[in-house]
Structure 1
């Protein structure tokens, strides 16, 4: 406030105290920026692609990947299948496998049966340990060719299957097989199903040898691939919006689809011993 010289001799009057300066504009701006960044990070972390893992019998490789995805520090919605005509597990000899039906025999039933047959044999070859892991992940093996995309899967949530939350609608964004013949079977079956949902789905194959040690390595690699894909998907939605994403349309979805081969190529450089394939198919 300007000083009035007419008050100089009054003695009883004094100038008003100066008005305090406003807070630095940078403080408010920084707070808004931090809040916006925090909201963006929260949105990116909350978004999750939905995955499907597939091997021949829904026992070893697909189940290790299912476990990894569903129990990650930031879990993914995931379902898993086999592509064989029957579930086959090693038996006393190569000509005497243990054979079960998909969709109707639980992992616990298999565990109990093999335990009663020859606990020592099936403990030593790792089958009992594998089945024990499987029954703590989901109820039992499912066959991919019997899956109806878009059919509700709410019973899997009630059964306590890991990764079931988020898959209730019966759709996935990516399918990851663990053997080339399984990839062929999945791609052929999707074509035979006729794309009833007209929804794009990325189909990968990560070639993993069918033993317990390689399955552990493959499961770790698949989790990393899923994480990279999810980061790109969240980034595209942040920049371009999520309109149409659930229907497989919109700018963000198209941009994500175009970047998937780049993501896979970068991932393959780190995992050269796990040859990969990719195609875009339709549910």
Structure 2
């Protein structure tokens, strides 16, 4: 049975801002070997109007984004929780990262929405297979708001604990996922890809 550090985990959402970062922070505190990413073309955050998001390049630091939004409208971005999210993110890592740009290898990729799951599978399908090792890609949808990101982080933590405690991950994964799905009433998507 693997230890908590043996399984390399990536949590992935669209902008590497809220859902993946909440789970990244939670899993790190539990001792998991975890990274987080986004799959979008750009980092997008709510703006002053629904049709005017704040858009940043991946690699722009959380601190730079924080200062930019604070200068634009500190009251709004404090009230809607964005500055709080950025403060949390700065404690975890320095910048949002794009999954498609990483060379890191993982055993488990957990996505937070079906569109992101599809983007991860598309990227993995086009990537050069080097080691031919199995990677499990798992998705369950988490609404992109502060409360649901917190609940989602707990659920991801539970799922990772179940996976780490499986006797043989590749043999037991379907049973683990079915039990998790039933217990939490979350529809799960699962694919196996090679890395």
TM-score in terms of structure 1 length:
0.67
SS in 2 for 1:90: strand
Question: Can you list the C-alpha shifts for 1:203-237, whole angstroms capped at 9, x where unaligned?
Answer: 000110111111111100000000010011xxx3x
1:176 to 103, 107, 110: 110
Q: Is the 2:4–2:164 Cα contact (8 Å) retained in structure 1? A: no
Deviations 1:1-36 (A, max 9, x none): xxxxxxxxxxxxxxxxxxxxxxxxxxxxxxxxxxxx
The secondary structure found in structure 2 opposite 1:142 is coil
Aligned to 1:87: 43
Structure 1 CA distance, aligned partners of 2:15 and 2:66? Answer: 15
- Find the aligned partners of 1:172 and 1:212 in 2 and give their Cα distance: 26
Match of 2:136 in 1: 202
Aligned CA-pair RMSD: 1.4
CA distance in 1, matches of 2:36, 2:98: 9
Shift of 1:45: 5.1
Q: 1:57 aligns with which of 2, 15, 19?
A: 15
Show the counterpart of 2:77: 122
Using the alignment, how far apart are the partners of 1:46 and 1:204 within structure 2? Answer: 18
- Name the structure 2 match of 1:24: none
Cα gap change, 1:85 to 1:47, in 2 (>3 Å):
closer
Separation in 2, partners of 1:222, 1:88: 23
Distance 1:211 1:46 in 2: 28
> How far 1:114 moved relative to its partner?
0.7
Cα distance in 2 for residues equivalent to 1:134 and 1:47: 22
Q: By how many angstroms is 1:47 displaced?
A: 5.0
SS in structure 1 at match of 2:47: coil
Residue 265 of structure 1 corresponds to 178
Give distance in 2, aligned partners of 1:197 and 1:145.
18
1:68-79 equivalent positions in 2, closer than 5 A:
68-72=26-30, 75-79=31-35
Give me the whole-angstrom Cα distance separating, in 2, the residues matched to 1:185 and 1:194: 16
Gaps of 5+ in 2: none
Mapped to 2, the partners of 1:44 and 1:138 lie a distance apart of: 26
1:188 to 114, 119, 122: 122
Q: Which runs of 4+ in 1 moved over 3 A?
A: 43-48
Aligned length: 195
Q: Deviations over 1:141-197 (max 9, x none)?
A: 01111112xxxxxxxxxxxxxxxxxxxxx3211000000000000011001003222
Higher strand share: 2
Contact 2:3 2:164 in 1 (8 A): no
What TM-score, normalized by structure 2, do the two folds share? Answer: 0.95
Structure 1's unaligned 5+ residue stretches are: 1-42, 149-169, 237-254
* Corresponding position of 2:153: 219
